[in-house]
Amino acid sequence: MVSRKIEKMTSRNGLLVLQVEHEGKMVPIHSKYDPIKEAERVLDAYKDEIQQYEHVLFYGVGIGYHVKMFFERYPTKLASTYEPIREVSSAADRDIQFPVNYVEHAFVEETPAHMEQHLAVFSRFLHHKVLLIVLPVYEKIAGEQLKAFSLRFKQVMQEKRSNTYVEMNFAKRWTLNALMNLKQVFETPNMLLEENNPFEGKPVVLASAGPSLNEEMDNLRYIKEKGLAYIFAVGSANKALIAQGIYPDAVLTYDPQSHNHTVFQQIIEQNIETIPMIFGSTVGFETVQMYKGPKFNFLTSQDTVTPYFLEKSMVKLNDSTSIAIVTLQLLHELRAGKVILAGQNFAFKNDLYYSKEIARYDKEKKEIVGADLQAKDVIKSHEVEGTLGGNVKTNNPFDRMRHEMEKYIEQYSTLQVINTTKGGATIKGAAYKPLDVLIKDELTERVVDPDWHHYGQTDPSLIAVQKLEKLQRDTRSFLEQYEAIMAHFQKKSASSFDGMNANQIQKWIEQFDELFKKFTKNVMYSIVLRPITRVFFEQLQVETKSIRVMDLTTEKVKRVIQAYSQYLAICQNVYKEIAPVILSSVIPNLLQNDEWKECVSTSGIFHYEKDWTKKPFTRQETAESLPEIYTIGVETKQTGATVKFTFTGTKLRVLGTNHSENPLKLKLTIDGKETTATVRQTINPEQFGSFQRQQLIEMTGLSKKTHDATIEMFSENPHFIFQGIEIGEEERAFHIHEVTDIDELAIGKRIRCHYKGTYNTVGEFTGLGEETGKHLVEASPNPDGDFYLIMVDDVDGEKRLIADRVVQNYISWKEVIFSLRSKNKLNDHFNIGLPTGNQQFYEKTDCERLIVLDEKNKKYNKNNIIWNYDGNSSTWLSEIIWCDIKERVNFVGFRGGNSGTKEKEFNTIYIRSEDTVGSHVGFRPLLRLPGEGILLK
């Protein structure tokens, strides 16, 4: 960069002015007559706009008369400066007119490359609207620089807004996933902690789902068969590979969205359990729960939860625009010998968006279609250089991904990256070489250890029990800390502000600072709430800077209350959503006490009398998505409402959440002996949500025998959510109508049974009458637990029992029917099937038998709890309703409510294709028992 001459001169009114050389002439940066008047004109021109912005970026500073005047006029607003001419900055250094500590950022463009660096820094710390004000003379003396700057500034601001939008949408989900995935992260090996690294120095094919992937299937099959390189499939590439019979050595995933598991649909549906999955700690937790193969984890930069619990620090991989880029980071950390990009088009090809084997959803058509381009894909499309010469067409999202990958390749100077994608976009730093040529020249020997995933080790020391207990305590104490701040605010009503002097105001602010400091040290806030509310917290910091420079007046107190009340209200709303997940799901799963065993309120163990209703805690990601159930309790608002059960052992705890406005009085009767308890802490559900899982009663020192127990709401106007009990680890709880032998069965009696199944596959029924494991949650794709079969009728000596819940969803009617036919042929002692439910075919259906029994039980409790038919999944019926001869598809019925139906009772019949697989409908088994015989043992 050519150096520019600078001169100093004095204006007519005696103020210092700088002159800069431009095209052979000296040009004054400020007015030669009156720099102050000029500064006024500059600010007056932007007067209306300044009021609408929190931050001003001054392009062109000089001595800074206009910047000084800005701070005088707007002492509570923020400003940064950008000087594009380095010689001006050097000459003005000692003569600058404003305190340099007033500006947020003071940038000087030493070289052209600095512009990009400075804007990146500015964007990183930017949390509010920014107005760009250009000192007019710079349009002349730095015209080309200003054009480049203005264009890039607009792009950076647009990207910032886009990133802010993404973060605000994903922040809650990132944190929720990190919480829900904690157990799996603790129980699976971390890829970057493994002492035996099988990938060091080895070639790895990074297979992406671009249109060119299909062209490399023969080469990839040869690589797989000969073990010439590890194949890591990212995104939907696994679908294309598996369709061709090629099992990758690993699949990788990091997308936080709830539907991310559909990327592995073929693996899940085909029950393939041999392909390892490497998942980011903030990936959609549904993906981790549904995937049955070996699992390895890595921490992501968006995970603020997991690091708190770890006893040792771990490498984090940066969140990126593409899983391919995250995988590139991982392979760099694993010191792979070379990374071979396949199917990494970052562009369209032959009117395809993905490899042709991959189906995708078309929002306009509202259906699953092929890999062809859709209208939305080509919006703002443009051409870039291609690997085979000439240009290829791409769009902005693909291009952003490509540029991001190029930045990482540039950083990883020791990692060789080769691009084998035919007809993809050129990737700077990744030389193009056809895969068949690469195989011939470089991939010449077997290097793959097919058993690499068997060597992974988990580290039990990673689970920090004390920190889990700390999170549990702090999640509960959040309420007190929040209310303490609100009480401090409420001490000063609007009418009392005017009577405060400066000392009182200072003392009030100091007291508030202490309360807020304590609030921010709360673990639940620091690792959960603050990351989710980061954008709002940074906006609060901007407001706080303005408040700090205000005089000690009542206006300052009002501003504090207004700014912090708004932020705390946001924290409170997030707390309502997340606290129930922590207290009723995450903590119980991780803090499993060897001395206690939990029986949840919807397990089927409890007999409810009077007005009790199932109360689910649900979250809905988007307006289009179905609500997800995270936990369920049973709620009552009636005095005298009771819960009855029996249990063995010497101790008992009662768990639940008290929402009563006044202290809740409970009466616990064990073997006729009454004990009363008063629960004084009440949780306002409107403010703090529900499912706080309070320990309400603990009884110890009981006789070691079977006990009859009743819990009764003893106070007036109770509002209580019963969440379950805890008993001794080796003990057992029973429903009051439960039997352990089929000979004891009668209508209304129930018997326990175990069921274990996998996605869209009927499993095995075992352990009739026994306690084999925990109770099944209602309707899951991979069930493994106990449930109850309840006898509904005795037809000519044949006992008919129906399950108290849908034991499995994500299973088609067709799979249930055909699988059960095979199983029943092999067994002479029993028959398992689906309940009948269409009254046009039967005089009395099994569903009617269920409803009759339900009506009898309504004399105890008027709401459905016994059968759980108002949950997330409806019940497949045995009958074919009609047949589409043209399509050769049967349509079958289901009854009961699900998250997509308005009708929650068991009276309405809905119709679906026999091949339907989803969360909304599933398998509720019907068991037919002959008069004699023991089975299912």
Task: Please say if the pLDDT value at position 460 is more than 80.
Answer: no
Task: Please say if the pLDDT value at position 495 is more than 60.
Answer: no
CB neighbours of 848 closer than 8 A, spacing ≥ 6?
Answer: 839
Q: How far is CA 319 from the centre of its chain?
A: 14
Query: What is the mean pLDDT of the segment spanning 325-348?
Result: 97
Task: Classify burial at 96, counting beta carbons within 10 Å of its beta carbon; exposed 0-12, middle 13-18, buried 19 or more.
Answer: middle
Rounded CA-CA distance 502/386 in Å is 69
Name residue 661's beta-bridge partners: none
What is the overall mean pLDDT for the chain?
Answer: 89
What pLDDT shows up at residue 626?
67
The model's confidence at residue 755, banded by pLDDT at 50, 70 and 90, is very high
Tell me the pairing of strands 761-766 and 6-10: unpaired
Task: Please say if the pLDDT value at position 118 is more than 80.
Answer: yes
What pLDDT shows up at residue 123?
82
pLDDT more than 90, % of the chain: 65
What pLDDT shows up at residue 468?
92
22-48: per-residue pLDDT in tens? 988 999 999 999 999 999 999 999 999
Out of 162-166, 215-219, 543-547, 595-599, least confident range:
162-166
Q: Are 169 and 622 in contact (CB under 8 A)?
A: no
604-646: per-residue pLDDT in tens? 999 999 999 999 888 877 666 667 788 899 999 999 999 999 9
Amino acid at 326: V
Query: What is the mean pLDDT of the segment spanning 503-512?
Result: 93
Q: Are 28 and 19 in contact (CB under 8 A)?
A: yes
509-564: per-residue pLDDT in tens? 999 999 999 999 999 999 999 999 988 898 898 888 888 888 888 888 988 999 99
Task: Please say if the pLDDT value at position 933 is more than 60.
Answer: no
Rounded CA-CA distance 370/240 in Å is 12
**Which is nearest to 397 in space by CA: 409, 405, 386?**
405
Q: Output the CA torsion 58→61→63→65 (10° steps).
A: -30
Rounded CA-CA distance 189/200 in Å is 17
Instruction: Return the residue matching tokens 């069921």.
Output: 755
The model's confidence at residue 458, banded by pLDDT at 50, 70 and 90, is low
Rounded CA-CA distance 409/453 in Å is 27
Query: What is the mean pLDDT of the segment spanning 159-164?
Result: 71
The count of other CB atoms within 10 Å of the CB of residue 615 is 19
What pLDDT shows up at residue 826?
54
Task: Please say if the pLDDT value at position 891 is more than 90.
Answer: no
pLDDT, greater one: 182 or 893: 182
Out of 86-100, 105-119, 306-320, least confident range:
86-100
Query: What is the mean pLDDT of the segment spanning 305-315?
Result: 89
769-782: per-residue pLDDT in tens? 999 999 998 889 99
759-772: per-residue pLDDT in tens? 999 999 999 999 99
Out of 292-306, 711-725, 744-758, 826-840, least confident range:
826-840
Out of 720-734, 848-862, 864-878, least confident range:
848-862
What pLDDT shows up at residue 493?
57
The model's confidence at residue 934, banded by pLDDT at 50, 70 and 90, is very low
pLDDT, greater one: 442 or 118: 442
**Integer Rg of the chain from CA:** 34
The model's confidence at residue 312, banded by pLDDT at 50, 70 and 90, is confident
The model's confidence at residue 581, banded by pLDDT at 50, 70 and 90, is very high
**Which is nearest to 65 in space by CA: 3, 136, 124, 7?**
136
642-675: per-residue pLDDT in tens? 999 999 999 999 999 999 999 999 999 999 999 9
The model's confidence at residue 857, banded by pLDDT at 50, 70 and 90, is confident
248-266: per-residue pLDDT in tens? 999 999 999 988 999 999 9
Task: Please say if the pLDDT value at position 329 is more than 50.
Answer: yes
What pLDDT shows up at residue 408?
96
Task: Please say if the pLDDT value at position 313 is more than 70.
Answer: yes
